A and B are shown apart, each in its own frame.
Chain A
Amino acid sequence: MLLHTNLSSTLEWAGVTPWFGGNLNIIFAQIRKVALAEVEEIRVRVGQPLLLQGSGRDIFLNALGVPCRQKEAYLVSRQDLALTLERVTQSSLYAAEEELKQGFFTLPGGHRVGIAGEAILRGKEVQTLKHISALNFRLAREIRGSARGVIPFLLKSDGDFCHTLMLSAPRAGKTTLLRDLIYLLSTGIPELGLRGQTVGVVDERGELAGMRQGIPTYNLGPRTDVLDGCPKGIGMSMLVRSMAPQIIAVDELGHPDDVSALADALRTGVKILATAHASSWDEALHRPILKILFTEKVFTRIVLLNRQHGPGTIAGIIDTLTGRNLYEETRLETIGTKAGLGPIV
């Protein structure tokens, strides 16, 4: 199953162009022969060709905004990058201080801009980045209905939601699927007997809701409360105390604080919907932080994603109590039935 089959993104080149300064602004203003829907990342590196990356293909752009060969591509200048940085920070580098320490910041709409440069350290911690040499614009998309096929696997027979963790390598569609799951859980699906749930979202990186001055860019449903820009560890406890959610949703678990906050939240009976980086189930089992969660059997469903057929390919949905891959079984059953062979289990 591919998440991008029902792509309902409204992002156009005209919406992307204002992010870029200098000649890049001119190039994106006149871009031709490239649909934004094909592009996942825009790579801006000083002295290197301007590069768009899509699912499995690289597109170089020349000074006229036309796809070309690598040696004919427009080479990004230092000034282009400096002016672009000014635009994306709204000329307010001080306001992006914390984000610079983490190496990325989030644009309105939940689009993430990765930054590479020279790290300035204070002790063992990165204080800031200077001489910034590369930016990576990762385009976020809202794909309505992408989680519809997944959600039946995440419900118990009584319609109760299972603690769920989604695992994938970067750029495999975790955040997009999480966003749609939040929407569906918040809205409810009467056909599945799922009533709308109160969902609390801790949006540490501002990617899930794409909050802009308190207003979400993405519709996360009518029963969703968003705590924006707050570390997950603190945010989960805050939401449990203040908004009484039935489900707490967080993106990219990985910090030791997240585990203790999860344990606290579980004690209150709240359900957890989370994502984490791991390219496979085996890799996740060997990651120290995730290992604790698996040993404690916190999650009863693991959704595995990869890019085999493009971003958002569901590789499996594992029931951790039985170790069975529910999604694989269902696919085999369907194939078997269609071929007149009967269910294969």
Chain B
Amino acid sequence: MLILGCVGLITGCGGIGLIIAGRIRRRPRELREFLTALSLLDTEIVWGATPLPEAFASLEERVERPWQGFFGELKDRLLSGESAAMAWKGVVRAQSRQFALKLEDWQVIKDLGKGLGQSDRQQQHKQLELVQRQLALLQEQAGTWAEKQAKMWSYLGFLCGLAGVIILI
């Protein structure tokens, strides 16, 4: 019984550690995926002059979850008559919990919504390019950070479990 309890504690703590590590590893992936989406959006705007609802519908089909849901909701909100800035703000507020992104990432993403669709193609391109540069920097930092943190949390979970077992015994 005691042995089973010890195994359970180690597995439980280890599992929590792995979950946290997994979430940390998701951040650079999500940033990379968003950068791809921005690049597609840039093409839709600059080359296709595609209106935002259509552009978001196209992104919804071409990106992975959870960004798929993000762009899907944006499209729906725009089609219901909401302005791009309001829709962007609303979707960030509603869906940010589904992502592993940090506050600093959301700050850059939120800023993008402010001028979206409100200028000519050249200005839109400049704005998207700026956001892409900022996010690329964050992604680079997140990559190095995530590798270390994820490894730490993977070990830390099991070590905590082990420490708990030693204390209990």
List 4 other contacts, CB 8 Å, given A86-B83, A94-B45: A21-B81, A91-B116, A92-B51, A94-B123
CB-nearest residue of chain A relative to B122? A94
Are A91 and B49 in touch, CB under 8 angstroms? no
Check A310 for interface membership: any CB of B closer than 8 A. Answer: no
Are B121 and A92 in touch, CB under 8 angstroms? no
* Neighbouring B residues of A89 by C-beta, 8 Å: 51, 117
Check A97 for interface membership: any CB of B closer than 8 A. Answer: yes
The total number of A-B Cβ pairs within 8 Å is 55
Contact with A along B40-67 (1 / 0, CB 8 A): 0000010001111111000000000000
- Interchain CA distance A18-B80 in the complex, whole Å: 8
Contact of A94 among B54, B85, B87, B119 (CB under 8 A): B119
- Interchain CA distance A213-B50 in the complex, whole Å: 11
A90-B53, A97-B49 as given contacts; A18 in contact with B81, CB under 8 Å: yes
Contact with A along B81-95 (1 / 0, CB 8 A): 101110100000000
Q: Which of A4-56 contact B (CB under 8 A)?
A: 18, 21, 25
Are B83 and A91 in touch, CB under 8 angstroms? yes
Are A91 and B117 in touch, CB under 8 angstroms? yes
Check A70 for interface membership: any CB of B closer than 8 A. Answer: no
Check B16 for interface membership: any CB of A closer than 8 A. Answer: no
Taking the nearest CB of chain A, how far is it from the CB of B130, in angstroms?
16
Taking the nearest CB of chain B, how far is it from the CB of A285, in angstroms?
40
What's the interface size class on B, roughly? 20 to 34
* Neighbouring A residues of B51 by C-beta, 8 Å: 89-92, 95
- Interchain CA distance A128-B122 in the complex, whole Å: 13
Contact of B120 among A90, A91, A97 (CB under 8 A): A97
Contact of B49 among A25, A95, A128, A213 (CB under 8 A): A95
Check B118 for interface membership: any CB of A closer than 8 A. Answer: yes
Check B124 for interface membership: any CB of A closer than 8 A. Answer: yes
- Interchain CA distance A86-B80 in the complex, whole Å: 12
Check A298 for interface membership: any CB of B closer than 8 A. Answer: no
Are B117 and A93 in touch, CB under 8 angstroms? yes
Contact of B84 among A91, A97, A128 (CB under 8 A): A91
- Interchain CA distance A21-B55 in the complex, whole Å: 22
Contact with B along A78-100 (1 / 0, CB 8 A): 00000100110111111101000
- Interchain CA distance A95-B120 in the complex, whole Å: 8
* Neighbouring A residues of B121 by C-beta, 8 Å: 94, 97
Q: For the complex of A and B, list the 6 residue pairs with the smallest distance between their C-beta atoms, beginning with the closest.
A: A91-B84, A92-B51, A91-B117, A90-B51, A95-B51, A94-B121
Are B49 and A87 in touch, CB under 8 angstroms? no
